[in-house]
Structure 1
Amino acid sequence: MNKVVPAILLALFSIGASAAEHQIKMVNSGKDGIMAFEPAFLKVAKGDTVKFIKVDASHNSASVVVPAGAAAWKGKMDEEISIPLTQEGVYVYICDPHKTMGMAGVIQVGNATNLDAAKQESEKLSKSFVMNKDRLSKALAQVK
């Protein structure tokens, strides 16, 4: 009996320890051009957290597509936020002040359960971009 309790505690700790934190930078200029999230596409495991990092001023992160049952988010200007991703699927997000410049990205959590809906919504969103019009389609092409 004395060996069972430590084994259970170790198992519970291991479950919590398996969740990872990933970072997405909000930049004025980067490898994908101006006004970008780096990386523009990120695949993570269910239960992981994504932290949006302020590299340059005047950016935020706001979800525009989330899977059924997932919580939407909207960070304040210049706010670094951490988003726990507890639902599988495709998440599409933007920077509100730079949306028309195509500052958008995609996170895939586990299986892409809502890929068709994410593609449809992203196609509509991309029509409002005045530059970087293919940024979302390139990010969505990486979803598997």
Structure 2
Amino acid sequence: MFRPVISTLVAVLLGSAASAGVVEVHMLNRSGEDRMVFEPAFVQAAPGDTIRFVPSDKGHNAESLDGMIPEGASAFGGKINEAFDVTLDTEGVYAVMCKPHYAMGMVMTIAVGDAAAAPEGLLEGCVPKKAKERFEAQLSHL
């Protein structure tokens, strides 16, 4: 008698847990001809997805850039040489950098939900030349 109810409850709980995805992003010294990169450099995620940052090479971290995440979203950052996960619930565009290699262009973009374009003025201000070039290439995927 209780068996069908329990089976249904388990299926519902597992189904909701399985709906959120995990995207693994590697922090690398080199990928092909490019140096100091996140791979992938652009991620399209659904709200509730988790981004797992993996330091495949030493000396890297990942952190959101001040003023370059959606309004209402929480800033995030990991320690150098340590993997960490961040779950993104707020829709919009997130700019991410490796702090030690930001000037060398080690940046990535995460678009959560239905973000169809970068917010106006996202790349205004003091963004290193190489980082700006990479952000522009990544934002072309929107």
Question: Considering the TM-score relative to the shorter chain, is it more than 0.5?
Answer: yes
For 2:123, what is the secondary structure of its paired residue? helix
Number of residue pairs matched by the alignment:
139
Q: Which residue of 2 aligns with 1:140?
A: 139
**Structure 2 stretches lacking a partner, 5+ long:** none
Contact 2:117 2:139 in 1 (8 A): no
Instruction: Return the alpha-carbon distance in structure 2 between the equivalents of residues 125 and 42 of structure 1.
Output: 24
Contact 1:104 1:135 in 2 (8 A): yes
1:20-99 pair list within 5 angstroms: 20-31=21-32, 33-64=34-65, 65-99=68-102
Instruction: Return the alpha-carbon distance in structure 1 between the equivalents of residues 89 and 64 of structure 2.
Output: 15
1:75 Cα deviation from its structure 2 partner? 0.9
**Structure 1 stretches lacking a partner, 5+ long:** none
Instruction: Return the alpha-carbon distance in structure 2 between the equivalents of residues 125 and 16 of structure 1.
Output: 40
Q: 1:86-140: per-residue Cα shift (whole Å, max 9, x none)?
A: 11111110000111111100011111177214xx2334353x23x4541110001
Instruction: Return the alpha-carbon distance in structure 2 between the equivalents of residues 101 and 93 of structure 1.
Output: 13
Q: Percent identity?
A: 35
Residues 32, 75 of structure 1: CA spacing in aligned structure 2 closer, same or farther, 3 A cutoff? farther
1:20 Cα deviation from its structure 2 partner? 1.2
Paired AA for residue 71 in structure 2: A
Give the TM-score normalised by the residue count of structure 1. Answer: 0.85
Instruction: Return the alpha-carbon distance in structure 2 between the equivalents of residues 24 and 61 of structure 1.
Output: 10
Contact 1:52 1:82 in 2 (8 A): yes
Instruction: Return the alpha-carbon distance in structure 2 between the equivalents of residues 48 and 136 of structure 1.
Output: 21
